[in-house]
Structure 1
Amino acid sequence: MEIYNPASSPVDLSGYVIDDLVGGGGAPYTIPSGTTIPAKGYFVWETTNYYNNSGGDDVTLKGPDGTVIDQYHYGSTGYDRSWYRSPDGGNWATSQDTTPTKGATNQ
């Protein structure tokens, strides 16, 4: 999972939470204290076996107070394919990226 910072200054992600199904699914991941995203940069969380590929899942970012900041539901995905916003920080694309590039601009 990647989080993009469209701002012209760094963003502190300390205490933000990455989750799948809110109130269910896998155990939420709390972003460690001191984690920042540089201006126009990316935070990349690499994990395996957290999100479902065949049955679909939710991808959720929550603030430290539990407020849902962003959420996306997908029906299914294939190996080495990604759902993304285009351009970075824009609207969710209607198709998957077949050439995902970790930490780089979505095309």
Structure 2
Amino acid sequence: MIFALCIVALSAIGASAMVINEVELNPLGNGTKWVELYNNGEDDVDVSGWVVSIVNPPWNGLMPIRDGTIIPAKGYFVAEGSAQWGQEESGTVVLVNASGFKVDETHFMTDDGDSDFTFGRYPNGVDTDQKSDWKLMKATPGSENLLSIRA
């Protein structure tokens, strides 16, 4: 009974609909790291006060989400890091809601390509909690992840 109530509560706030969908850990040149979130649910989700972080101990890059930020159903949001961050090329990305609940987390990733290729969930937005959810692909910030053939 308690388990069922927890599932209903999570569904009600939309947390289960939010996933980390694409990660740019090593942007081309002096670009800024970014993380794309995707709402794979049927309802809009208010992500005010949520935090995206890239963790690579002892370094931790935080990307707080501004109040009033709503991600529409089947919509995207791109959180951007700071231009002053070092050139760490690896990390685990974590999404935490305003109550401190971990909504999603990636495996440890390394991107040493210094390119416009990113790690993205493929198929788009699908989360099976497996490393195989993630593919190296051409960056598509704010839109559907697509596999492209590398030349």
TM-score of the superposed pair, with normalisation by structure 1: 0.81
Aligned partners of 2:91 and 2:110 also within 8 Å: yes
Shift of residue 29 of structure 1?
Answer: 2.3
Cα distance, 1:27–1:76 mapped onto 2, change above 3 Å: closer
Deviation at 1:75, TM superposition (A): 2.7
State how 1:26-41 maps to structure 2 within 5 Å.
Answer: 26-41=60-75
Percent identity, aligned pairs only, is 31
Q: Secondary structure at the match of 1:19?
A: strand
Which residue of 1 is the match for residue 98 of structure 2? 64
Q: Distance in 2 between matches of 1:105 and 1:52?
A: 26
- Residue 96 of structure 1, aligned match among 132, 136, 151: 136
**Structure 1: unaligned runs, 5 residues or longer:** none
The residue identity in structure 2 corresponding to 1:84 is: G
Amino acid at match of 2:143: A
Structure 2: which 5+ residue stretches go unaligned?
Answer: 1-34, 128-132, 147-151
Query: Quick one: which amino acid aligns to residue 63 of structure 2?
Result: Y
Deviations 1:69-92 (A, max 9, x none): 111120334221111111221142
> CA separation in 2, counterparts of 1:43 and 1:75?
22
Q: Does 1:75 align with 2:115?
A: no
> Which digits, 9 at most, give the CA deviation of each residue in 1:35-64, with x for residues without a partner?
0111111011133446722xx111110111
Q: Call closer, same or farther: CA 1:33–1:103 in 2, change over 3 Å.
A: same
Tell me which residue corresponds to 1:13: 47
CA RMSD of aligned residues (A): 2.2
Deviation at 1:2, TM superposition (A): 0.4
**Structure (1 or 2) with the greater strand fraction:** 2
Query: What residue number does 2:11 align with?
Result: none
